[in-house]
Structure 1
Amino acid sequence: MGSSGLARLHGLFAVYKPPGLKWLHLRDTVEMQLLKGLNACKPPAPKQRVRFLLCPAEGSEEKELTLTATSVPTLTDHPLVRGPAFTNLKIGVGHRLDVHASGVLVLAVGHGCRLLTDLYDTHLTKVYTVRGLLGKATDDFKEHGRLVEKTTYDHVTREKLERVLSVVQGSHQKALVMYSNLDLQSQEAYEMAVRGVIRPMSKSPMLICGVRCLHFAPPEFLLEVQCMHETQQQLRKLVHEIGLELKTTAVCSQVRRTCDGFFTLDDALLRTQWNLHSIQDAIQAAAPRVAAELEKNLRPQSGTEQLPGPAGPGVSGCPNSTLGGHPGGP
């Protein structure tokens, strides 16, 4: 039972990381729950071996002892003798979330760890909801950081915010095309641009594919950011710089990842579901989609000419700041 259970654990799945929990602690908790489930499975029947034991002779009135062939269980495989059958598992973590962020976190078990590298090479986009508060600035761009400045925000409107967001998106889309290393005169590049699947072919600074305002009720506003190669701290800095562009200040009160590639919140297992059977079912359900998406995104592109990637501080169009408003190097 334990070996068959382990065979169904090779693959990728997603969990929901709550805020305040380190990703390393989450991984260790998942590993502990999986080991607990595997070791709780009913062990196979112990092997039998023949031993000659001294037993009373049958049919004899006298208490004579004779050697009799007897089948007895082998105790070398008994859990109380050898200990638990499973003591560790190979668990990999995909695009990580810092301790203050929450949302979709992709994990891999066993041979599925190889797929994490393929997942990284596809440069898939991730989607975040970022909540900001107008009117103050802190040293770490977080709501509960050390207060640096307080400002007024009565002049900020949703129209002004959306105007700034459009500038952000436009500057980053220009950098996205540059880092994609595509021949912009090719038909393939045109079709990819129409489908919105242009991606950088190598490591790049944070690139924002799309950003929009979901809710605006001063001093609070909520953004949806579609990006790649980001860190959660860079997203908090984005909120700070948006505040500066609006002639005020802003801090980030929440960063929540709602989508990591093809894994969404609907795929993410809650803390109460971090057990063997739920994770096995999640891996089996995600396996066909993982294979299809990796095949589609890792397929060599035809009709494109690989151009030298931008490098060095003299390349124009590279977002020097989070807003990407000034040219500069990565």
Structure 2
Amino acid sequence: MHRRLSQALNGLICVHKPQERPLKRICRVLAKTLAEEASQAVGPIQRPLIKLPYVESHESGALLVVGENEIEDYRYAPLISGAAFRPEDIRIEPLQDMETTSTGVCVLGVNDGCDELPKLMANSWLSEYRLEGLLGFERVDNRLDTKVNIRAPFDHVNKFMMSKFLARLESEYRKLAFHTANVDLQSEEAFEMARKGLPRTQLPGQTIIYKLELRHFNPPFFTLNVQCTGETDKFMRLFVHEIGLSLGTTASCVRMQRISQGPFTSDHVLIEREFNLQNILRNISLCRRVLDATKLDPNVVEEQEKDPEKEAETQRREIIDALFLNQSMKRDEEYDSLQPNWPRNYESN
């Protein structure tokens, strides 16, 4: 049973990372849950019997072996050898790190699955993000390591202006995609690639944005859907900031949600309250089937298709409700989910 469980606990697992929950803590909770429930499933180890000589004294004073006694080998007792599985023995590593304030789909490697993560990263999977931003407002760190609020006028920014800028920015990134794939834009190869999709970058870790879409615009609030590869949470936050600067104002990313990571979407995730041995084993099997069914073109990236029902539900969700904001709220009280609730300054006694 121990060997079968050890073989089954290898692969990928897809989880949902909640906001204000460090990814390392989720990995520790997973490892602890697996160790405890796997040890219970295996049950106590049956201690083997060992033979010890039975010795009696002779009349001459010498010791003679007159027989053997069989006793249990207490070296394998639970209080001595420990549980069958321990959290330290279970490796769990993320495919891509996420900041504490971010949320969404996260793919983790379990035991031998951790060795497959570099190979998966080289595939340059396409990830989709929902970025919720705020125009004319930004928090920055000054030299005293305190947050300073920066405000700028944003009345001149309209939906047409932002959409036009995003379309131009998307076009520039698409040109960069052909450049990183070593394809001439005037060649027949570029035409054939464009018919299928967009060229996949041949440089692992290269950040390419394949699609930018303005989903909601109600100044100062706006929402972007971004499909990209090679990104980091810091890049996405700075990306929103640069959009604000390019429009003649400032912008701050107040909420970041990863909708999908490669072939894995919210349909494949486990939430923390579902963490148990049975669900984790089922999720590892599900992730294995998803990978087997994924047909990856090493040269072309296909844009992800949308589910009409999910799209309609997303459109009905107003960003003000999502951020718990209202128009009468004071600017000093604006909500920013990417700012941790705990302070960054620690005073020593």
TM over 0.5: yes
Q: Which piece of structure 1 moves more, 68-77 or 31-40?
A: 68-77
Amino acid at match of 2:9: L
Specify whether residues 6 and 124 from structure 1 end up closer, same or farther in structure 2 by C-alpha distance, changes over 3 A only.
Answer: same
Partner of 1:223: helix, strand, or coil? strand
Deviation, structure 1 residue 192: 3.1
Percent identity at matched positions?
29
Instruction: After TM superposition, give the deviation of residue 100 of structure 1 in Å.
Output: 1.6
Contact 1:14 / 1:268 at 8 angstroms: preserved in 2?
A: yes
1:57-105 per-residue CA deviation (whole Å, 9 max, x = no partner) reads xxxxxxxxxx999976554433233111222212221111112211111
| Residue of structure 1 equivalent to 2:79 | 80
Q: How large is the RMSD of aligned CA atoms in angstroms?
A: 2.8
Q: Which amino acid aligns with 1:147?
A: V
**Aligned ranges 1:26-41 → 2 under 5 Å:** 26-41=26-41
The whole-number CA distance in structure 2 between the counterparts of 1:176 and 1:211 is 14
Q: 1:23 and 2:26 equivalent?
A: no
Could you tell me which runs of 5 or more consecutive residues in structure 2 were left unpaired when the two chains were aligned: 55-65, 301-349
Select between 281-290 and 38-47 the one with higher mean Cα deviation: 38-47
Give the length in aligned residue pairs. Answer: 283
Change (3 A) 1:247 1:52: closer
SS at match of 2:267: coil
Amino acid corresponding to residue 245 of structure 1 in structure 2: S
TM-score, normalised via structure 1 length: 0.76
Change (3 A) 1:186 1:3: farther
Q: Secondary structure at the match of 2:117?
A: helix
C-alpha deviations, 1:207-248, integer Å up to 9, x for none? Answer: 111010111222111100111111112111121121222222
Equivalent residue, structure 2, for 1:218: 219
Q: Name the SS of the counterpart of 1:296 in structure 2.
A: coil
**Structure 1 gap segments, 5+ residues each:** 55-66, 302-330
C-alpha distance in structure 2 between counterparts of 1:155 and 1:27, whole Å: 46
User: What residue in structure 1 maps to residue 7 of structure 2?
Assistant: 7
> Residues 189 and 71 (structure 1 numbering): CA distance in 2 closer, same or farther, change over 3 Å?
farther
Whether the aligned pair in 2 keeps the contact of 1:39 and 1:85 (CA below 8 Å) is yes
Helix, strand or coil: the match of 1:224? strand
Question: How do 1:50-129 and structure 2 match up within 5 A?
Answer: 74-87=73-86, 88-129=89-130
Change over 3 Å in CA distance of 1:125–1:48 after alignment to 2: closer
The offset of 1:204, in angstroms, is 5.4
Report the AA paired with residue 35 of structure 2.
L
The answer for the alignment partner of 2:233 in structure 1 is 232
Q: CA deviation at 1:288?
A: 2.3
Contact 2:12 2:113 (8 Å CA) reproduced: yes
